Chain A
Amino acid sequence: MRPLTPRRILAICGMLAAILFVVVVISLRVGAYPISMRDIVVTLYNGAVGNGDSSEFSQVIFGLRLPRIALGILVGAALSTSGAGFQALLRNPLADPYVLGVSSGAALGAMLSLIIAPHTVGAIQLAAFIGAAATIAAVYFLGRRGGQLDSATLLLAGIIAASFLSAIIIFLLTLVNGPGLRSMTFWLMGDLTAPPPTQNVLGWFGFLYFVFIVAAGAMYTTSSDLNLILTGEQEAGHLGVNVTRVKLVVYVAASLLTGLAVSVSGTIGYVGLLVPHVMRMLFGTDYRLLIPTSAIGGAIVIVLADTLGRTIVAPTELPVGAMTALAGAPVFIYLMRRRIR
């Protein structure tokens, strides 16, 4: 393997970003509503210079396709980054963003908001995030051993919290009726179609991306320390790495990213588990490269999966979670077998 220079990181990320761009353009172009490439460019230009109109083009582009793409990029990037973080923190290749019960906590929060305040706009997202944050805190305190985060104890605490919360969710599911239950079903399957809870769509996405950049950035600052920790916690400690602090940062950042993704889109499986592994197989295990490539790779996968999901069986849509599992597993097996050979 060639040495990892900043230039190489930039080159690889640039290449992935180009792929993402192509995928985004395809996603903007295809759909049940036919729009030509020229009309897309004109509508985008008019919207960007503040000369928006109320034409159906602008409804479809700004009201439907762009928000969905923006949400897909955010969720994919957040889940994959978080998955990469958890795999290092728990030193377990099977770790995914949901392994520590964050998704169950978020689901319980969403569920409660549907029961208590079913018509409040934005309540689901807020409650899901509070649920995720509470679970993160609880698992953190349960997962400590001698004042330190212990990977095995943390994993056990997370799994137990997840199954306990799932039991409560199943109990509550028998209490909710009609529309709430339907919303919940789609939420649990992963859903990018829910409209932003405010009129200020740009501000909403600005907020989400800001949280993502802070959390992913914090995790990135630990990447060279993570490389050392992966060779062994004691060895890393001898080399001057503050293991406790690094683990805390990764834990909080990865959980925050998961909570962010889950609260806006529900639980979308596979991406957080598979994308970091695929990126490892393609570009090596160095976390300085793995974190950004996972983020972009996750965005590519979700946008692509969602685009396929809403076109291959049109006008009916396939949930994005089903698409990621359907396409992700075979690709993963192919890469894994190729690597073994």
Chain B
Amino acid sequence: MAPSEARRRFFLMALTLACGVFACSLRDARAAETHLQQSATAPAPTSPDSAAQTAANKRATKLVTDETGRHMAIPLNVQRVVSLAPNLTEMIYALGLDAKLAGDTTYCDIPPAAKEKPHVGAPQDPSLEAIVALHPDLVLATTSINRAQTADALLKIGVPVYTSNPHTMAGMLSATATMADLLGESEQGAKLVAELQQRLDTLHAALQDRPMTHVLFVVWEDPLISIGQNTFIADALRWAGAESIIVASQNWPQVSMEEVVRLQPEYIVLTSDHLTAETHERVNNLRDRPTWSELRAVKLGHVVMASDEFTRPAPGLVDAIESLAHELHPEAFSTSAAEFAPNFPQRIVGAGPAPAGPARTTANAPAFAQFASARLRMEASICAR
């Protein structure tokens, strides 16, 4: 096959040539690119066509290392923030800094005003372009719902992204303080943190002589997914005088019913599905389900509903902790629970008329539920291959 052989040789030669040309052009392009990189990372934009105001804002920057170890330069005077997680949005509102919030995600629904802000997509895969289009001075992210790739990609094009990584209440409080610092409102942050810390200390003082209640925290019912030791939920439970019966190093372990039967939790803590009408149904469902109905906690009616704030490491979590503490240890508090916390979750056990809690009509599940369903979808996609 002589012609074929000749063609092969010709092809190889052409390929070598092409590679050579390519390598040469690459070297030039690389020089050009370094130039681009430098001007992009310089604190003061050198291009004259940038808007004067942006230039003024960006002139003074400080170097910051975030909780995941990424370094970045953040303007001293941050005016426009994009939040990539519901708990961060809630924090910004709690700090009274919502005027600086330029955009948030489609999951951000607390407080309701957050829904009116421009959205940049879902926390796991926001549109990077939509973020840039909001001209943020700073983007806030968290390891508990965002992907590392999002922060990496934004940092690469010169948009600072501060990622927080809260695993405990203390971590949540310090993240709140840091956030206030970054936004130039340190005093506001210190005030909020001191107030929250004080409420937690009061709780601790009331509960410290009481034994911990052993609870099963249900993240997801089918399959049964609970929490691991290193989650902020496990820490929040401890502040509420409760301890998860599940000991796991994974964050969201799938638990067998047998294990639950063996450990016999004193209380079962469900998370609210936003809709108050569903709560009775869910408890009745537990009573109707074979193994669940035999659990001591279900027979005694020891099933409580934690507010969905419990799933977000944000200031509202302290409310949720207080409510749960009153639910689990009513005798430790002199004032009645209903007086103490106005947004007290209804006690399902008595099944009286449900106090009208603020009904949240959002269709979005809490962060970890999204997360759990993602895991299921993923497993399904692997099984299918």
A-side interface residues toward B, CB under 8 Å? 31-34, 47-50, 52-56, 58-60, 62-65, 98, 103-104, 107, 118-119, 121, 162, 166, 169-170, 173-175, 177-179, 181-186, 188-189, 191, 193-196, 199-203, 206, 210, 213-214, 217, 220-221, 224-225, 240, 267, 310, 314-317, 319
Given the interface contacts A178-B144, A202-B33, does A310 sit within 8 Å of B45 by beta carbon? no
Does B132 belong to the interface (CB within 8 Å)? Answer: yes
Cβ B26 vs Cβ A202 within 8 A: yes
CA distance A59 to B37 in the complex (A): 11
Partner of A173, one of B19, B36, B379: B379
Q: Is the CB of B31 within 8 A of A64?
A: no
- A-B pairs with beta carbons under 8 Å apart, 8 shown: A31-B129, A54-B46, A63-B158, A64-B129, A182-B371, A199-B156, A315-B130, A316-B121
Residues of B within 8 A of A184 (CB): 378
Closest 3 CB pairs of A and B: A63-B157, A50-B32, A52-B36
B 368-385 binary contact with A (CB < 8 Å = 1; else 0): 000100110111011101
- For the complex formed, measure the closest distance between the CB of A74 and the CB atoms of chain B, giving whole angstroms: 14
User: Does B78 have its Cβ within 8 Å of any Cβ on chain A?
Assistant: no
Are A178 and B251 touching (Cβ within 8 A)? Answer: yes
Query: Does B353 lie at the interface of the complex (its beta carbon under 8 Å from any beta carbon of A)?
Result: no
Taking Cβ atoms with an 8 Å cutoff, the residues of B that contact A are 1, 4, 7-8, 11, 15, 18-19, 22, 26, 28-33, 35-37, 39-40, 42, 45-47, 49-50, 68-69, 106, 119-122, 124-130, 132-133, 135, 143-150, 152-153, 156-159, 228, 250-252, 254, 371, 374-375, 377-379, 381-383, 385
In the bound complex, how far is the Cα of B124 from the Cα of A178, in angstroms?
11
Query: Which residue of chain B has its CB nearest to the CB of A206?
Result: B26
**Are the C-beta atoms of A214 and B15 separated by less than 8 Å?**
yes
Q: Let me know if B381 and A54 touch, CB within 8 A.
A: no
Question: Contacts A32-B133, A33-B133, A175-B250 known; A170 to B383 CB distance under 8 Å?
Answer: yes
Q: Which residues on the A side are within 8 Å of B228 (C-beta)?
A: 177
Residues of A within 8 A of B150 (CB): 193
Whether B149 pairs with A193 at a CB distance below 8 angstroms is yes
Complex: how many Å from CA A186 to CA B122?
Answer: 13
Contact between B149 and A194, CB atoms less than 8 A apart: yes
- Pair A177/B147 contact, Cβ less than 8 Å: no
Q: Are B132 and A54 in contact (CB under 8 A)?
A: no
Contact between chains at A315 and B39 (CB < 8 Å) = no
Q: Is the CB of A59 within 8 A of B157?
A: yes
Which residue from chain B places its CB closest to the CB of A180 in the assembled complex? B148
**In the complex, residue of chain B having the shortest beta-carbon distance to the beta carbon of A221:** B8
A182 near B124: Cβ-Cβ < 8 Å:
yes
How many angstroms between the C-alpha atoms of A179 and B152 in the bound complex? 13
Q: Which residue of B lies closest to A103 (CB)?
A: B385
Chain B neighbourhood of A177, CB < 8 A: 228, 250-252
Taken together as a complex, chains A and B put the C-alpha atoms of A199 and B7 apart, in Å, by 39
> Which of A34, A177, A240, A310 neighbours the largest number of chain B CB atoms within 10 Å of its CB?
A177
Q: Which of A162, A202, A203, A314 contacts B130 (CB 8 A)?
A: A314
Are B132 and A56 in contact (CB-based, < 8 A)?
A: yes
Is the beta-carbon distance between A166 and B15 smaller than 8 angstroms? no
**In the assembled complex, how far is the CB of residue B312 from the closest CB belonging to chain A, in whole angstroms?**
15
User: In the complex, what residues of A have CB within 8 A of residue B69's CB?
Assistant: 119
Classify the secondary structure of B's interface with A: helix
CB distance from A165 to the nearest CB of B (A): 10
Chain A residues with CB under 8 A of B152: 121, 194-195
Instruction: Please give the distance in Å from A324's CB to the nearest CB on chain B.
Output: 14
Q: Is the CB of B158 within 8 A of A32?
A: no
Instruction: State the CA gap A36–B161 with chains docked (Å).
Output: 27
> Would you call B382 and A194 a contact (CB within 8 A)?
no
CB-nearest residue of chain A to B253:
A174
B186 to chain A, nearest CB (A): 29
Q: Are A200 and B378 in contact (CB under 8 A)?
A: no
Given A54-B42, A55-B47, A166 contacting B385 (CB threshold 8 A): yes
A52-B32 in contact (CB<8A): yes
Closest residue of B by beta carbon distance from A316: B121
Question: Contact between A60 and B129 (Cβ–Cβ < 8 Å)?
Answer: yes
B260 to chain A, nearest CB (A): 18
By a CB distance below 8 angstroms, the chain A residues around B11 are: 217, 220-221
The answer to whether A186 touches B15 (Cβ under 8 A) is no
The reply to whether B143 and A179 contact each other, CB–CB distance below 8 Å, is yes
Decide if A317 touches B127 in the complex (CB within 8 Å).
yes
How far, in angstroms, from A98 to B29 measured CA to CA in the complex?
A: 35
B188 to chain A, nearest CB (A): 29
Assess whether A56 is in contact with B135, with CB atoms less than 8 Å apart.
Answer: yes
CB neighbours of B33 from chain A (8 A): 52, 200-202
Find out whether the CB atom of A52 lies under 8 angstroms from the CB atom of B15. Answer: no
B157 touches A169 (CB 8 A): no
> Across the two chains, which residue of chain B brings its CB closest to A209?
B22
Question: When A64-B128, A166-B382 are in contact, do A53 and B49 touch as well, CB less than 8 Å?
Answer: yes
What's the minimum C-beta distance from A95 to chain B, rounded to whole angstroms?
14
- Is A54 in contact with B377, judged by CB distance below 8 angstroms? no
The answer to whether A33 and B383 have CB atoms under 8 Å apart is no
- Please judge, given known A-B contacts A34-B133, A315-B130, whether A53 and B19 are in contact too, CB under 8 Å: no
Q: Is the CB of A213 within 8 A of B49?
A: no
Q: Using Cβ atoms and an 8 Å threshold, which residues of chain A touch B49? A: 53, 55
Q: Tell me whether B126 and A315 are in contact (CB under 8 A).
A: yes
B165 to chain A, nearest CB (A): 9
Contact B127 A32 (CB under 8 A): yes
Check if A50 sits within 8 Å of B15, measured CB to CB.
Answer: no
CB pair A189–B22 under 8 Å, yes or no, is: no
Which A residue's beta carbon lies closest to that of B375? Answer: A181
Which residues of chain B come closer than 8 Å to A202, judged between CB atoms? 26, 29-30, 33
Cβ of B382 and Cβ of A170 under 8 Å apart? yes
CB pair B148–A179 under 8 Å, yes or no, is: yes
Residues of A within 8 A of B50 (CB): 54-55
Give the residues in chain B near A195, CB-CB below 8 Å. 149, 152-153, 156
State which of A52, A178, A185 has its C-beta within 8 Å of the C-beta of B35: A52
CB distance from A158 to the nearest CB of B (A): 12
Give the chain A neighbours of B4 by CB distance below 8 A.
Answer: 224-225
A103 to B382, CA, bound (A): 11
Say whether, besides A52-B36, A175-B250, A315 and B382 are in contact (CB < 8 Å). no
> Which residues does chain B contribute within 8 Å of A191, judged by CB atoms?
149
Q: From B50, which residue of chain A is reached at the shortest CB distance? A: A55
**A32 adjacent to B130 (CB under 8 Å):** yes
List, in ascending order, chain B residues with CB within 8 A of A47's CB. 32, 36
